[in-house]
């Protein structure tokens, strides 16, 4: 299993607006294509105005296929302008859990 960790730094004060529109529209579209939502978070302490969401995928090929379906969805394309101007920076990581992780990892090769 691989986990995609997406971190967005939003404009100052934009977290409520971002969470509202994602909660009302965006998350359903994402779940339809991406599937395994592990968590969706906003920062309280530390770097401010941050959103982190984590998605699980069976493989990197699974992730690529699911993200391609999401990007091809006309509903997603119509949704993107609602959040695009709220995001200042975006960071993306692909992580695999350690064998002892509660998320169930494997031993390194």
Q: Flag whether pLDDT at 41 surpasses 60.
A: yes
Tokens of 61: 């090929």
Q: Which domains does the chain have, with CATH numbers?
A: 2-95 (3.30.70.100)
Tell me the pTM. Answer: 0.88
Tokens of 100: 């002892």
Tell which residue, 76, 74, 61, 71, has the closest CA to residue 29: 76
Tokens of 82: 């609602």
- State the pLDDT at residue 92: 95
Predicted confidence (pLDDT) per residue in 48-95, tens digit: 899 999 999 999 999 999 999 999 999 999 999 999 999 999 999 999
Q: Which residue has the higher pLDDT, 47 or 73?
A: 73
User: What is the distance in angstroms between the CA of the first residue and the CA of the last residue of the chain?
Assistant: 14
User: Cβ contacts of residue 71 below 8 Å, gap of 6+?
Assistant: 77
Average pLDDT over residues 30-54: 94
Q: Which residue has the higher pLDDT, 99 or 81?
A: 81
């Amino acid at each position: 299993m691989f986990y995609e960790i997406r971190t967005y730094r939003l404009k100052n004060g934009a977290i409520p607006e971002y969470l509202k529109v994602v909660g009302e529209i965006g998350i359903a579209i994402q779940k339809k294509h991406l599937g395994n939502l592990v968590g969706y978070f906003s920062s309280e302490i530390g770097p401010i105005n941050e959103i982190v969401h984590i998605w699980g995928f069976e493989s990197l090929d699974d992730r690529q296929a699911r993200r391609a379906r999401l990007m091809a969805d006309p509903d997603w394309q119509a949704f993107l302008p609602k959040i695009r101007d709220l995001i200042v920076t975006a960071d993306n990581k692909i992580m695999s859990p350690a064998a002892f992780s509660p998320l169930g990892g494997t031993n390194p090769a």
